[in-house]
Protein backbone atom coordinates (compact mmCIF):
# COMPACT_ATOMS: atom_id res chain seq x y z
CA UNK A 1 0.00 0.00 0.00
CA UNK A 2 1.37 3.40 -1.00
CA UNK A 3 2.19 5.89 1.75
CA UNK A 4 1.58 8.82 -0.61
CA UNK A 5 -1.71 10.68 -0.24
CA UNK A 6 -3.84 13.43 -1.74
CA UNK A 7 -5.79 16.06 0.16
CA UNK A 8 -9.30 16.66 -1.16
CA UNK A 9 -12.23 18.93 -0.29
CA UNK A 10 -15.98 19.07 -0.76
CA UNK A 11 -16.91 22.73 -0.37
CA UNK A 12 -20.26 24.46 -0.63
CA UNK A 13 -20.22 28.26 -0.41
CA UNK A 14 -23.99 28.57 -0.01
CA UNK A 15 -24.27 26.27 3.02
CA UNK A 16 -20.78 27.27 4.28
CA UNK A 17 -19.97 23.59 4.70
CA UNK A 18 -16.61 21.95 4.10
CA UNK A 19 -15.48 18.34 4.16
CA UNK A 20 -11.72 17.71 4.39
CA UNK A 21 -10.19 14.32 3.65
CA UNK A 22 -7.06 12.53 2.51
CA UNK A 23 -6.84 9.46 0.33
CA UNK A 24 -4.31 7.22 -1.37
CA UNK A 25 -6.41 6.94 -4.53
CA UNK A 26 -8.45 9.76 -6.06
CA UNK A 27 -11.09 7.18 -6.95
CA UNK A 28 -12.18 7.35 -3.31
CA UNK A 29 -13.30 10.96 -3.77
CA UNK A 30 -16.16 9.84 -6.01
CA UNK A 31 -16.96 6.59 -4.23
CA UNK A 32 -19.04 5.91 -1.15
CA UNK A 33 -17.29 6.89 2.08
CA UNK A 34 -19.86 7.95 4.67
CA UNK A 35 -23.40 9.33 4.33
CA UNK A 36 -22.60 12.79 5.72
CA UNK A 37 -19.77 13.43 3.26
CA UNK A 38 -21.75 11.96 0.38
CA UNK A 39 -24.71 14.22 1.18
CA UNK A 40 -22.49 17.30 1.00
CA UNK A 41 -20.81 16.06 -2.18
CA UNK A 42 -24.17 15.68 -3.93
CA UNK A 43 -25.57 19.06 -2.85
CA UNK A 44 -26.12 21.60 -5.66
CA UNK A 45 -23.19 24.02 -5.80
CA UNK A 46 -20.66 21.74 -4.09
CA UNK A 47 -17.18 21.92 -5.59
CA UNK A 48 -14.73 19.04 -5.32
CA UNK A 49 -11.07 20.05 -5.10
CA UNK A 50 -7.83 18.13 -4.72
CA UNK A 51 -4.15 18.92 -4.38
CA UNK A 52 -2.52 18.88 -7.80
CA UNK A 53 0.18 16.54 -6.53
CA UNK A 54 0.26 13.79 -3.96
CA UNK A 55 2.03 14.37 -0.67
CA UNK A 56 5.08 12.16 -0.32
CA UNK A 57 3.86 10.75 3.02
CA UNK A 58 0.54 10.34 4.81
CA UNK A 59 1.95 12.35 7.72
CA UNK A 60 2.57 15.35 5.43
CA UNK A 61 -0.99 15.04 4.16
CA UNK A 62 -2.28 14.99 7.75
CA UNK A 63 -0.33 18.17 8.50
CA UNK A 64 -1.98 19.86 5.52
CA UNK A 65 -5.36 18.51 6.66
CA UNK A 66 -4.85 19.93 10.16
CA UNK A 67 -3.97 23.35 8.71
CA UNK A 68 -7.00 23.29 6.39
CA UNK A 69 -9.30 22.38 9.29
CA UNK A 70 -7.86 25.10 11.52
CA UNK A 71 -8.22 27.84 8.90
CA UNK A 72 -11.73 26.78 7.87
CA UNK A 73 -13.01 26.58 11.45
CA UNK A 74 -11.43 29.94 12.25
CA UNK A 75 -13.29 31.40 9.25
CA UNK A 76 -16.59 30.12 10.64
CA UNK A 77 -17.15 27.17 8.32
CA UNK A 78 -19.03 24.04 9.33
CA UNK A 79 -16.17 21.56 8.92
CA UNK A 80 -16.45 17.80 8.63
CA UNK A 81 -13.60 15.32 8.68
CA UNK A 82 -13.26 11.55 8.85
CA UNK A 83 -13.26 10.35 12.45
CA UNK A 84 -10.11 8.30 11.80
CA UNK A 85 -8.25 11.35 10.47
CA UNK A 86 -9.41 13.58 13.33
CA UNK A 87 -8.31 11.06 15.95
CA UNK A 88 -4.89 10.81 14.31
CA UNK A 89 -4.58 14.61 14.20
CA UNK A 90 -5.76 14.96 17.80
CA UNK A 91 -3.25 12.36 18.98
CA UNK A 92 -0.47 14.68 17.86
CA UNK A 93 -1.49 17.15 20.56
CA UNK A 94 -1.34 16.91 24.33
CA UNK A 95 -4.92 16.54 25.49
CA UNK A 96 -6.54 17.90 22.33
CA UNK A 97 -9.76 19.70 23.19
CA UNK A 98 -13.09 18.12 22.32
CA UNK A 99 -15.04 21.35 22.81
CA UNK A 100 -17.18 22.03 19.76
CA UNK A 101 -16.83 18.47 18.46
CA UNK A 102 -19.72 16.18 17.63
CA UNK A 103 -19.77 12.85 15.83
CA UNK A 104 -22.15 11.63 13.16
CA UNK A 105 -22.03 8.44 11.11
CA UNK A 106 -18.26 8.11 10.88
CA UNK A 107 -17.67 11.84 10.56
CA UNK A 108 -16.57 14.41 13.14
CA UNK A 109 -18.02 17.94 13.03
CA UNK A 110 -15.73 20.75 14.17
CA UNK A 111 -17.57 23.93 15.06
CA UNK A 112 -14.99 26.25 16.62
CA UNK A 113 -11.27 26.90 16.84
CA UNK A 114 -11.01 25.02 20.15
CA UNK A 115 -11.29 21.82 18.15
CA UNK A 116 -7.91 22.15 16.48
CA UNK A 117 -5.69 24.42 18.54
CA UNK A 118 -4.15 21.56 20.53
CA UNK A 119 -2.73 19.63 17.59
CA UNK A 120 1.05 19.40 17.56
CA UNK A 121 0.96 20.14 13.84
CA UNK A 122 0.18 23.80 14.63
CA UNK A 123 1.82 25.90 17.32
CA UNK A 124 2.57 29.59 17.88
CA UNK A 125 5.24 31.18 15.69
CA UNK A 126 8.20 31.27 18.05
CA UNK A 127 11.93 31.85 17.96
CA UNK A 128 13.72 28.58 17.15
CA UNK A 129 17.40 27.77 16.78
CA UNK A 130 19.41 24.58 16.48
CA UNK A 131 20.58 22.70 19.53
CA UNK A 132 19.16 20.69 22.39
CA UNK A 133 18.69 21.31 26.09
CA UNK A 134 18.95 18.01 27.96
CA UNK A 135 17.25 17.80 31.32
CA UNK A 136 19.91 15.42 32.63
CA UNK A 137 22.59 18.04 31.92
CA UNK A 138 20.81 20.94 33.64
CA UNK A 139 21.60 22.01 37.19
CA UNK A 140 19.58 23.94 39.79
CA UNK A 141 16.76 24.26 37.27
CA UNK A 142 12.99 24.57 37.61
CA UNK A 143 11.14 23.58 34.41
CA UNK A 144 7.59 24.76 33.66
CA UNK A 145 5.30 23.77 30.74
CA UNK A 146 3.58 26.53 28.75
CA UNK A 147 0.39 25.83 26.82
CA UNK A 148 0.12 27.29 23.29
CA UNK A 149 -3.33 28.63 24.19
CA UNK A 150 -4.33 31.92 25.74
CA UNK A 151 -4.60 31.41 29.51
CA UNK A 152 -6.41 33.59 32.05
CA UNK A 153 -6.35 36.58 29.73
CA UNK A 154 -2.63 36.22 29.00
CA UNK A 155 -1.84 36.01 25.27
CA UNK A 156 -0.66 32.96 23.39
CA UNK A 157 3.15 32.73 23.70
CA UNK A 158 4.14 33.64 20.15
CA UNK A 159 7.62 34.94 19.39
CA UNK A 160 6.69 38.61 19.06
CA UNK A 161 6.14 39.02 22.81
CA UNK A 162 8.72 40.62 25.08
CA UNK A 163 10.66 38.83 27.77
CA UNK A 164 8.40 40.31 30.44
CA UNK A 165 5.29 38.87 28.78
CA UNK A 166 6.87 35.42 28.55
CA UNK A 167 7.91 35.76 32.19
CA UNK A 168 4.32 36.50 33.23
CA UNK A 169 3.27 33.14 31.78
CA UNK A 170 6.22 31.32 33.33
CA UNK A 171 6.37 32.59 36.91
CA UNK A 172 2.92 32.89 38.48
CA UNK A 173 0.95 29.67 38.36
CA UNK A 174 2.97 26.94 40.03
CA UNK A 175 3.21 24.93 43.21
CA UNK A 176 6.89 24.78 44.16
CA UNK A 177 7.66 22.95 47.39
CA UNK A 178 9.29 25.18 50.02
CA UNK A 179 12.19 22.76 50.54
CA UNK A 180 13.05 22.85 46.81
CA UNK A 181 13.10 26.62 46.37
CA UNK A 182 16.60 27.14 47.79
CA UNK A 183 17.98 24.59 45.32
CA UNK A 184 16.80 26.29 42.10
CA UNK A 185 18.56 29.21 40.41
CA UNK A 186 17.32 28.80 36.86
CA UNK A 187 13.78 28.90 35.38
CA UNK A 188 13.15 27.20 32.04
CA UNK A 189 9.81 27.62 30.22
CA UNK A 190 9.04 24.98 27.57
CA UNK A 191 6.23 25.06 25.00
CA UNK A 192 4.00 22.00 25.10
CA UNK A 193 3.84 19.91 21.95
CA UNK A 194 7.02 20.93 20.15
CA UNK A 195 9.12 21.22 23.37
CA UNK A 196 10.88 24.42 22.28
CA UNK A 197 12.38 26.57 25.04
CA UNK A 198 10.30 29.76 25.16
CA UNK A 199 12.40 31.49 27.78
CA UNK A 200 15.21 31.02 30.26
CA UNK A 201 15.65 33.23 33.34
CA UNK A 202 17.92 33.54 36.35
CA UNK A 203 15.99 33.10 39.60
CA UNK A 204 16.74 35.76 42.22
CA UNK A 205 18.27 33.93 45.24
CA UNK A 206 17.39 36.90 47.48
CA UNK A 207 13.88 37.36 46.09
CA UNK A 208 10.66 36.54 47.89
CA UNK A 209 8.57 33.56 46.77
CA UNK A 210 5.22 35.26 47.22
CA UNK A 211 1.78 33.73 47.07
CA UNK A 212 0.03 34.77 43.90
CA UNK A 213 -2.18 37.69 45.03
CA UNK A 214 -4.96 36.61 42.66
CA UNK A 215 -5.34 33.36 44.59
CA UNK A 216 -4.01 34.17 48.06
CA UNK A 217 -7.42 34.68 49.67
CA UNK A 218 -9.25 31.91 47.85
CA UNK A 219 -10.22 28.74 49.62
CA UNK A 220 -9.03 26.43 46.88
CA UNK A 221 -6.06 24.41 45.70
CA UNK A 222 -4.85 27.52 43.87
CA UNK A 223 -4.10 29.43 47.07
CA UNK A 224 -0.67 27.74 47.42
CA UNK A 225 0.52 28.86 44.00
CA UNK A 226 3.41 31.29 44.07
CA UNK A 227 5.28 33.85 41.99
CA UNK A 228 8.83 32.83 41.15
CA UNK A 229 11.26 35.75 41.77
CA UNK A 230 13.48 36.58 38.80
CA UNK A 231 16.62 38.69 38.61
CA UNK A 232 15.32 40.37 35.44
CA UNK A 233 12.10 39.30 33.66
CA UNK A 234 13.23 41.10 30.49
CA UNK A 235 16.36 38.92 30.21
CA UNK A 236 14.75 35.75 28.86
CA UNK A 237 17.75 34.00 27.30
CA UNK A 238 19.74 33.06 30.39
CA UNK A 239 22.44 30.59 29.37
CA UNK A 240 21.64 31.05 25.67
CA UNK A 241 18.99 28.30 25.74
CA UNK A 242 15.99 30.14 24.27
CA UNK A 243 14.78 28.57 21.02
CA UNK A 244 16.51 25.23 21.51
CA UNK A 245 14.66 21.91 21.78
CA UNK A 246 14.13 20.58 25.28
CA UNK A 247 14.85 16.88 25.78
CA UNK A 248 13.39 15.63 29.01
CA UNK A 249 10.31 15.30 31.21
CA UNK A 250 7.50 17.81 30.86
CA UNK A 251 4.78 17.47 33.49
CA UNK A 252 1.39 19.07 34.02
CA UNK A 253 3.10 20.97 36.81
CA UNK A 254 6.76 21.73 37.42
CA UNK A 255 9.75 19.47 36.80
CA UNK A 256 13.34 19.79 37.98
CA UNK A 257 16.90 19.09 36.93
CA UNK A 258 18.19 15.82 38.42
CA UNK A 259 20.39 17.53 41.04
CA UNK A 260 17.40 19.09 42.84
CA UNK A 261 16.61 16.87 45.88
CA UNK A 262 13.35 14.92 45.67
Residue spans of beta strands (DSSP E) within the chain: 6-12, 17-23, 47-50, 78-82, 101-104, 107-110, 132-134, 141-146, 186-191, 197-202, 210-211, 226-227, 245-247, 255-256
Confidence band, pLDDT 50/70/90 cuts, at residue 96: very low
In a domain, 139, yes or no: yes
Per residue in 119-144, pLDDT tens?
A: 566 666 778 889 999 999 999 999 99
In a domain, 125, yes or no: no
Distance CA 262, CA 260 (A): 6
- The boundaries of the domain holding residue 197 are 132-256
Residues 145 and 232 in one domain: yes
Does 116 have pLDDT greater than 80?
no
Residues 251 and 179 in one domain: yes
Of residues 102 and 206, more confidently modeled = 206
Instruction: Report CA dihedral (78, 83, 85, 91) to the nearest 10 degrees.
Output: 110
Distance CA 205, CA 83 (A): 51
Amino acid 153: pLDDT? 55
The fraction of the chain above a pLDDT of 70, given in percent, is 74
Amino acid 120: pLDDT? 62
Query: Domain end: 115, 150, 168, which one?
Result: 115
In a domain, 138, yes or no: yes
End-to-end CA distance of the chain: 50
In a domain, 121, yes or no: no
The total number of structural domains in the chain stands at 2
Residues 90 and 145 in one domain: no
Amino acid 124: pLDDT? 66
Residues 47-62 have a mean pLDDT of 90
What's the mean pLDDT when you consider all of the chain?
A: 80
In a domain, 239, yes or no: yes
Residues 25 and 64 in one domain: yes
Has this prediction a pTM greater than 0.75? Answer: no
Residues 93 and 161 in one domain: no
Specify whether the backbone of 248 is left (phi greater than 0), alpha (psi in -120 to 50) or beta: left
Residues 175 and 79 in one domain: no
Residues 160 and 44 in one domain: no
Query: Domain end: 80, 115, 150, which one?
Result: 115
Residues 174 and 206 in one domain: yes
Query: Domain end: 115, 145, 180, which one?
Result: 115
Distance CA 177, CA 52 (A): 56
Reduce the secondary structure of 78-119 to three states and give it as a string.
EEEEEHHHHHHHHHCCCCCCCCCEEEECCEEEECCHHHCCCC
Output the DSSP codes for 44-66: TT-EEEE-SS-BSSHHHHHHHHH
Residues 102 and 169 in one domain: no
Residues 56-84 have a mean pLDDT of 83
Amino acid 203: pLDDT? 97
Confidence band, pLDDT 50/70/90 cuts, at residue 95: very low
The fraction of the chain above a pLDDT of 90, given in percent, is 34
Per residue in 197-211, pLDDT tens?
A: 989 999 999 999 988
Amino acid sequence: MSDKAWLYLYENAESKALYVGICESMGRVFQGCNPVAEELREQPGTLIRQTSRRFSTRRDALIAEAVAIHVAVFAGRDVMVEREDWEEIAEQGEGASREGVSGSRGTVHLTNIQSTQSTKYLSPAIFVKSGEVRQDELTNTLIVPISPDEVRGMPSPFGGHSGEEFAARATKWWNVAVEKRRHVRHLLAVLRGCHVVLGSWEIDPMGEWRLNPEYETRKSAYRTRIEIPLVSPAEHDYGGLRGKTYMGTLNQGVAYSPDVPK
